Chains A and B, each alone.
Chain A
Amino acid sequence: KAGVTQTPRYLIKTRGQQVTLSCSPISGHRSVSWYQQTPGQGLQFLFEYFSETQRNKGNFPGRFSGRQFSNSRSEMNVSTLELGDSALYLCASSIGPRGVGQPQHFGDGTRLSIL
């Protein structure tokens, strides 16, 4: 069974640009969550999508947005990039958004570097 697929693996952008990251969940998984990982802050929750609807959102500015398509694939967009947005962006999928013991499985991530 294929795992969570994230593209691209690496991205280099400059301040002020915008970027779109893509995530394909494990087959049969309908919930997709996005996380940002930095050395200083660790793994932080961005948002979660289920059935094309954002169900939860973390404490990130509105420059961070996302969407989910009918096939459960998800995209994350960051506009007006800042140096502090340099991070590993991880996508995780699970069967559903809630319920006790719903494990999330992570993709390999997209490493975003802002110059």
Chain B
Amino acid sequence: QKEVEQNSGPLSVPEGAIASLNCTYSDRGSQSFFWYRQYSGKSPELIMFIYSNGDKEDGRFTAQLNKASQYVSLLIRDSQPSDSATYLCAGRGTGGGADGLTFGKGTHLIIQP
């Protein structure tokens, strides 16, 4: 059973600070990982994806992947109130069978003005 685990939160961060969101996964066959942001009542929106060990930066967002520890994280620098949302971590393998994205339950992030 492939699992992706996230702390449900809420995670409360002051405006302007760094928000750190974490995710662990059980399937060592997972090759690529995705972070989605979902506002209440809306559909998930892709923030970043990563498939190599290390860091990947895009603007205020940095994704980190450690395959040995089966750990993925998302850092949001200079957090803004508009970043308040649920952040979903997802993993995907490249094998056969049921190989769609496996999602965590999401972390609810609150940026306090």
* Interface membership of A45, Cβ < 8 A: yes
A42 near B103 with CB under 8 A, answer yes
Q: Which of A12-20, A69-77, A78-86, A103-111 contacts B (4 or more CB under 8 A)?
A: A103-111
- In the assembled complex, the Cα of A54 lies from the Cα of B42 at a distance in Å of 27
**Residues of B close to A28: CB separation below 8 A:** none
Other-chain residue from A47, A98, A101 in contact with B51 (beta carbon distance below 8 A): A101
Bound complex: CA A106 to CA B46 (Å): 8
Residues of A within 8 Å of B34, CB to CB, are 103-104
B contact set with A: CB distance below 8 Å: 31-32, 34, 36, 42-46, 49-51, 88, 90, 92, 94, 96-106
With A42-B103, A42-B104 in contact, is A56–B43 under 8 Å at CB?
no
Not counting A43-B103, A46-B100, a sample of 12 additional A-B residue pairs whose C-beta atoms are within 8 angstroms of each other reads A42-B104, A42-B105, A43-B44, A45-B98, A56-B99, A56-B100, A98-B99, A103-B49, A104-B34, A104-B46, A104-B101, A106-B46
Which residues of chain A are near B99, meaning CB under 8 Å?
48, 55-56, 98
Could you say which residues of chain B place their CB within 8 Å of the CB of A35?
Answer: 100-101, 103
Cβ contact within 8 Å between A33 and B43: no
Chain B neighbourhood of A101, CB < 8 A: 32, 49-51
Q: Which 7 A-B pairs have the closest CB atoms?
A: A45-B100, A43-B103, A42-B105, A100-B51, A106-B43, A101-B51, A56-B99
A-B contact pairs, 8 of them (CB 8 A): A42-B88, A43-B88, A44-B103, A45-B101, A92-B101, A103-B49, A104-B34, A107-B43
Among A57, A88, A103, A108, the residue within 8 A (CB) of B98 is A57
Contact with B along A36-62 (1 / 0, CB 8 A): 000000111111100000011111000
Within 8 Å CB of A88, what residues of B?
Answer: 43
**Chain A residue at smallest Cβ distance from B102:** A45
CA distance A57 to B90 in the complex (A): 17
Chain B's nearest CB lies how many Å from the CB of A13?
21
Q: Is the CB of B94 within 8 A of A103?
A: no
Considering the complex, give the chain B residue whose CB is closest to the CB of A56.
B99
Listed residue (B36, B42, B88) with the most chain A CB atoms within 10 angstroms of its CB: B36
